[in-house]
Structure 1
């Protein structure tokens, strides 16, 4: 099979060896007649920043396999008529779960409560994890991975999704129960995708439903959060802290108030990374399925946006 690698040039050296090792029957190319390719492997930033790829010449392609978990930068492309599959990388899910566990533990244990200044502070003892309520917004692959890791430590985890689709071992609330999901969240983790339905979901009204002193972790999508509303909640001392890994504009501009706020921690979109070694076999499996006419894995529904 012939596969076109539609990704920024800087990705070639890392991805090409892993993809070829996972799918040796594939001829992976960076140029050639678009009509000669059986599939496209895609990552945002191709053909250049700010430009959309034209998929219409790829008349033979049976699959467009994204290397990113999020597909908001491609799903609305009007030239995309081929089946689109998002990347569900077990390495990315593991990395996301570890990031969420680490930051949850930091605030659960009050690790910032003990400056090394010679003062003996033993008046506050943290509860056990089973007494700490965590809510996860978004119960897709990443949400389920995070829930499993936090539950493994003992946290009281509730999930929320628009569908309310059951997840074994986790209480999952549906769309109408969002106020309940927020009101219980001592730690709120947002793993929601970027869709018309989720943009601005965490606005002033909904942030006000969080318990006093709650902590917000957002490694999902920056568009879910109303930045001004979050700053207002932090400034009023209602919210305890926010750890933000994703933003409406990236890189986050140096003058943005998040950088200077004492109750905000900025991490530079590193909560989870698609790793070629673990992601290439996923792409290879979908390429084989496309060639054989079998159902594709992680097929995107354009109407839903993910």
Structure 2
């Protein structure tokens, strides 16, 4: 039986995915018809980007699952017309990209690289950074990306703490959970990395009170979601010296508006949402495996908990 697969994303994504996704489906042994324009009542699976034109799922009466192209599902998970399983993207390329970006920026701040890269002014700066074992890193969010980053940093010798809503256990990582554990995790954050999803519970999680719980002069790194931080509180903490620097890859409005104060702030580094991205080759294999599973009656991978929002 042929699986009818609708690719619902922007035109540039179709050009990027058509060939590798078709090849991955064939390698997975799936009989398929992959298009961008099926009649809704003939669609079995939707390969989905939340910014596509498909926003009402009711006409897709034989739909078996929606397979998200992105790791984040906040723009689709609460859609009231979506009643079938939703799978988020968990992809080796996406995970490895995040590990490399986070590790690079943690090392940048740990080693004080900016003073040498940006400070070419004739001054012979002899300050020696501490070893990794003396710089504490805390990661908020211990999902797939958070766990991978925590493992990478722990293997470099950093004392790594991690926080999540529910209890989790990781080798070589001190873990905390719940409201009581958050304050303790923040108190250990010489460098804080945010890798939480965007949910109603995480909006403005890092506010003035939480920033005050961090060590003075700490660094904040956010490749997670722009909504995690109260922007006004962050700028105030930087201006007061409570925080030493913020490196931000995600923002409430993207692209970040040219007039936003982050651009000109001397203690803020802006990167344009490049910490990690879905790679078509590896992501196509994840999608193909889920279609194969769906057709074989096996459990789908990376299903979203609709109540939690991730």
TM-score, normalized by the shorter chain, greater than 0.5: yes
Equivalence map 1:28-107=2 (5 Å): 28-47=34-53, 53-107=55-109
Aligned to 2:293: 289
Structure 1 residue 170 corresponds to structure 2 residue 173: yes
Structure 1 residue 261 corresponds to structure 2 residue 268: no
Aligned equivalents of 2:257 and 2:86: distance in 1? 32
Aligned to 1:133: 136
Aligned equivalents of 1:202 and 1:257: distance in 2? 18
Equivalence map 1:110-259=2 (5 Å): 110-114=112-116, 115-122=119-126, 124-175=127-178, 176-259=180-263
Give the deviation of 1:105 after TM superposition.
0.6
Aligned to 1:279: 283
Aligned to 2:20: 18
**Cα offsets for 1:235-278 (capped at 9, x unmatched):** 00111000000111111111010001000000011100000111
Give the deviation of 1:116 after TM superposition.
2.4
Q: Is the CA contact 1:186–1:210 (under 8 Å) kept in the aligned structure 2?
A: yes
Give ranges in structure 1 of 5+ residues lacking alignment.
none
Aligned equivalents of 1:253 and 1:268: distance in 2? 11
Give the deviation of 1:165 after TM superposition.
1.6
Q: Is the CA contact 2:159–2:173 (under 8 Å) kept in the aligned structure 1?
A: no
Give the deviation of 1:38 after TM superposition.
1.3
Q: Let me know the Cα RMSD of the aligned residues.
A: 1.0
Q: Is the CA contact 1:186–1:211 (under 8 Å) kept in the aligned structure 2?
A: yes
Q: TM-score, normalised by structure 2?
A: 0.95
Aligned equivalents of 1:69 and 1:125: distance in 2? 38
Give the deviation of 1:128 after TM superposition.
0.9
Matched residues, number: 301
Q: Is the CA contact 1:62–1:291 (under 8 Å) kept in the aligned structure 2?
A: no
Q: Is the CA contact 1:96–1:272 (under 8 Å) kept in the aligned structure 2?
A: yes
**Is 165-174 or 56-65 further displaced after alignment?**
165-174
Q: TM-score, normalised by structure 1?
A: 0.96
